[in-house]
Amino acid sequence: MKKIAIISTVVLGLLTTASCDSYLDINEDPNSPAESNMTTDILLPGAEMNLAGTYGDFLRITGGYFAQQYSQTFGTSNYLDYSQFEMSATRSSGAYTQLNVRALKNLTTTRDLAERSGEWGTYLAATTLRAFIYQTLVDCYGEVPYSEAFTGATSPKYDDGADVYAGILAELDDALDKAGTGDQVATNFLFPGKTSAEWVKFANALKLKILMREYDVNSEAAAQVKAIIDEGNLPTEDVAYAGCWTNESGAMSPFYAEEFATNWGSTQINVIANVAIINTMLQKDGNGDVVYEDPRLSAFFEANGSGEYTGGISGTNFATAGDGLKSTYWCRPVASYDMPVYLLTVSEVEFFIAEYYARTGNAAQAKAHYEAAIEASCATAGVDGADQVIAQFPYNQANWKQVIGVSKWVALAGVNTFEAWCEARRLNYPAFGTVQGSQMYNLRDDSSYKPDLLAPGTLYTPIQVKDEVGPNQILERWPYAESSSSRNNNTPEFPGYTVPVFWGTK
């Protein structure tokens, strides 16, 4: 794996292209500026790049494997453990540090500075990103330090996920109350040059996501969701770090820089498409003839060397395969140096609204927003053909959870694989089918590779799966990061890989 110093390279390189002159004028590391130099214009962009670097790379990679949208390519082993539904306390430590020690610390300081100076647009921006990161951490670990974080406590307690969710919802409400839609916002990459109006929409959409995530365990969620939907002040464009990446070392979009760029001398291929997502987006009949090809397929995955779309199987890297299953056989995700890092898409918002109406029995509105979600997904992918997708996966009120779950999983495959993993855990769709990974490949010869056995829209047990996870189960949570647990005496005992976080269902 290429070792990327994401902040020293991406942030500083990015700032050069973004013409953030005031940021470039300082000589200190933007993550640790001298106290006299601390301003919101310095701190907010650095925190954003800690978020974009981690969310757009590490969480995209792990989410893709855990949601069975990615698999491991021939002969390499960088992410074979993820392919086997394993996450160690060590593997996520770097990402935890980037998000917690750096991004959250800088965002907390940014909020404090903004509050003291009455910069309410900046206060809202920092609060929204802070809430986004805390939700992400809860969704990974279940419990994280929150109430005692950044208070000077050497061993801050780990708060229950439900309490963290309640806390960040309160923070968002507070910031939305204080900020007007025309307030200025400090230098930032998400909505550069814009006032707080776009941040208000993002904050509302984030509240919607948080409340829908905990809908089944928060009795007040339904009423709050209804209020957000009724108000209607939600994003009309995807919320993403886009238009800020360049084809230069240290300034490329993080996933591309990690897995596709050769600037650090590596040409190793790791991530390929998974058979589960390929079989759903490219369906064949018993004769092997294509009966459905999703119009987003070519936007999400490259064809292989023969112009075909093929998927690897979780739990192996095909190291003992023959010539037929060498690295050129597999499809890779579509990636480019300027690919956006999506935080929240219009499609996701529409899927959440569709789910709300489905839950409340309004089939007509659920159907309308479900179809709007697919249309928005195709628009993000830059393709036509939403009608074709809707015809293949029509809305069904009697089976709304499966329909929305599978369709959202497909829509997120080329956009935000981390969210695909989260939503698969929450909705329990795609579900595990009757086929095991070992039935599709026996680790010995190419003739045993039988991907067509897997039904569209289903998951499967990896050929080799972590023992503590076992068959027909998805990885539900990560062990607490070693970078935190090794220093924090209040770290709880890890409950186990298959114990859902507080909003999860099984």
Each residue's pLDDT, cut to its tens digit, for the chain (506 residues) gives 443 333 333 343 333 334 333 332 223 345 555 555 789 999 999 999 999 999 999 999 999 999 999 999 999 999 999 999 999 999 999 999 999 989 999 999 999 999 999 999 999 999 999 999 999 999 999 999 999 999 999 999 999 999 999 999 999 999 999 998 899 999 999 999 899 999 999 999 999 999 999 999 999 999 999 999 999 999 999 999 999 999 998 899 999 999 999 876 567 899 999 999 999 999 999 888 999 999 999 999 999 999 999 999 999 999 999 889 998 999 999 999 999 999 999 999 999 999 999 999 999 999 999 999 999 999 999 999 999 999 999 999 999 999 999 999 999 999 999 999 999 999 999 999 999 999 999 998 999 999 999 999 999 999 999 999 999 999 999 999 999 999 999 999 999 999 999 999 87
Rounded CA Rg of the chain: 22
Closest to 72 measured CA to CA, from 439, 448, 437: 437
Torsion 150-151-154-160 (CA) sign: negative
- Please confirm whether the linkage preceding 500 is cis (ω < 30° from 0): no
Phi, psi of 64 (to 5 degrees): -65, -40
SS3 447: helix
Count the residues in the chain: 506
Angle between helices 346-359 and 363-381 (to 10 degrees): 170
For residue 327, the model assigns a pLDDT of 87
Distance CA 414, CA 393 (A): 18
Closest to 7 measured CA to CA, from 108, 130, 115, 98: 98
Inter-residue contact 49 to 193 (CB < 8 Å): no
For residue 43, the model assigns a pLDDT of 95
CB atoms within 10 A of CB 16: 15
Inter-residue contact 362 to 223 (CB < 8 Å): no
Chain position carrying tokens 């002159």: 21
For residue 455, the model assigns a pLDDT of 97
Closest to 209 measured CA to CA, from 83, 19, 111, 355: 355
Closest to 474 measured CA to CA, from 415, 379, 385, 409: 409
SS3 87: coil
Distance CA 367, CA 395 (A): 6
Distance CA 135, CA 172 (A): 12
Angle between helices 120-141 and 161-178 (to 10 degrees): 170
For residue 262, the model assigns a pLDDT of 86
Give the residues across from 342 on adjacent strands.
240
Distance CA 294, CA 275 (A): 15
Angle between helices 221-231 and 197-213 (to 10 degrees): 150
pTM of the model: 0.93
Chain position carrying tokens 């189960």: 473
**Residue 137: enclosing H or E segment and its boundaries?**
helix 120-141
For residue 265, the model assigns a pLDDT of 58
For residue 16, the model assigns a pLDDT of 34
**Residue 432: enclosing H or E segment and its boundaries?**
strand 431-432
Distance CA 43, CA 186 (A): 9
For residue 23, the model assigns a pLDDT of 30
